[in-house]
Structure 1
């Protein structure tokens, strides 16, 4: 079974909305993805390519995408609360929204890990506190709901 697990260091980011504006020179409305999102997607692609060793899931192959978004506990919290956060007793109920994290990862890996993100049949994603922030991502061939 084809499977690639890799990490993306740094604070997890979600997919930002495309900005739409009227371009008077072109005489039409134009949409563009914010530069910060494009840079983050390219970073995710780069991290995947460093670990993938040529793994690419062809069109027609269902895909499972697993994501763990790791956040640092706030510095302002007491030690006891930080320990609860790091032990998983308290979860990060904050921005970015989980669906936007999934979207930025799915779009970043489009055409790199798999032919198209329509192949994604299963997504398992969670937010957690950790001593090191970042994303843990696994892309694998979907097998029987697992």
Structure 2
């Protein structure tokens, strides 16, 4: 099992940009975040990539808006109010799974099941759990 916590505001996968010359590139914010995920993984884990079918749990914790009234902020901390604005949840997953390709697992196609959520917190971060699924077992 792999557990990771990526500190800071979660970053969604940005769309590739195309220059006038036809060259495509990944936005800098996405690239920087993917590099951060890789660095944290390498510092905390020193095992070969996982094999077989995998389960991913990802919890993205966003900063509580300063403009929100105190009552609303308290409800956000209690998870009674959750983020419904951008970024999209699938793009949050894409950033992390692409960053961990070939490090935590051979390919992100090995992830066959996932549980993903967006929350508010006073400490923005992304928490990741990746674990093997035994044959015939659902998580």
- Tell me the equivalent position of 1:13: 11
- The 5 A counterparts of 1:21-36 are 21-23=19-21, 29-36=22-29
Runs (4+) off by over 6 Å: none
- Tell me the equivalent position of 1:88: 79
Question: Unaligned 5+ residue runs, structure 2?
Answer: none
Q: Is the 8 A contact 1:88 1:128 kept in 2?
A: yes
Q: Is the 8 A contact 1:12 1:71 kept in 2?
A: yes
- CA distance in 1 between counterparts of 2:17 and 2:63 reads 30
Question: Unaligned 5+ residue runs, structure 1?
Answer: 24-28
Deviation at 1:91, TM superposition (A): 0.6
Indicate the SS of the match to 2:19: strand
Deviation at 1:21, TM superposition (A): 2.8
Larger radius of gyration: 1
2:42 is aligned with 1:44: no
Deviation at 1:55, TM superposition (A): 4.8
TM-score by length of 2: 0.92
Deviation at 1:106, TM superposition (A): 0.7
- CA distance in 2 between counterparts of 1:136 and 1:142 reads 19
- The 5 A counterparts of 1:1-146 are 3-23=1-21, 29-58=22-51, 61-143=52-134, 144-146=137-139
> Over aligned residues, Cα RMSD in angstroms?
1.2
TM-score by length of 1: 0.88
